[in-house]
Amino acid sequence: MGVISKLSVEMNGRESQALDRRAVADVWRHTLLHIPSLFGRLTYLASLRNPNSGQYEHHGLALMFGQEESNLALKESHSKVFDDWLACGIEEQMADLELYLSDLLEDRKTVLAAWEKLTPYKNVVPAGVKPTQKRLYLSELRTILELLNRAAGVEPDRDSSQHR
């Protein structure tokens, strides 16, 4: 490979990396910083992931930065928020989840009962996390949900708890 070609490849790599940094900054500045809870951010980012392809889809971000950069920025942001969640102690996680629940339109007891049966919280885990991270997340979240369910008077669903 000639010097010019090699330099071009290096510059394209740096340009791509800079573009990706701008895309990540855009996601945080215009969206994620406006979502008050970590769990809300996790839920939002997971909602942008196409369940059939695993690719993140955000029309506006893709228009500005291209689909590939948009996907990478959202994927990186999802992993970062998930790591931030895991870095919190269980008390912080519980407070964060309560903040998330307080922003929902549905009644807390209704949400908790639905989560007991449908386990939608499993879908917020980013692809590619280590199995130990996923197990830790699920264990902590189940503990928090058990405490919240008790406080709200929601009876555990014996059928769904056996399939966890």
> Which range has the worst mean pLDDT, 8-17, 94-103, 131-140?
8-17
Q: Say what the pLDDT of residue 152 is.
A: 78
C-alpha closest to that of 122 among 35, 51, 72: 51
The three-class DSSP label of residue 56 is strand
Q: Say what the pLDDT of residue 15 is.
A: 43
Q: Say what the pLDDT of residue 100 is.
A: 97
Q: Say what the pLDDT of residue 4 is.
A: 36
d(CA 53, CA 28): 24
The mean pLDDT of 121-149, rounded to a whole number, is: 96
Q: Which residue has the higher pLDDT, 21 or 60?
A: 60
What does pTM read for this prediction?
0.81
- Whether the predicted pLDDT of 143 surpasses 60: yes
C-alpha closest to that of 141 among 71, 90, 88: 90
- Give residue 115's identity as a one-letter amino acid code: W
d(CA 135, CA 141): 10
> Which range has the worst mean pLDDT, 43-52, 58-67, 148-157?
148-157
Structure confidence at residue 159 as a pLDDT band (50, 70, 90): low
Q: Say what the pLDDT of residue 149 is.
A: 87
Contact 139, 77 (CB under 8 A): no
Q: Say what the pLDDT of residue 11 is.
A: 35
- Whether the predicted pLDDT of 6 surpasses 50: no
Query: pLDDT digits over 7-58, tens only?
Result: 333 434 444 455 456 888 989 998 999 999 999 999 999 999 999 999 999 9
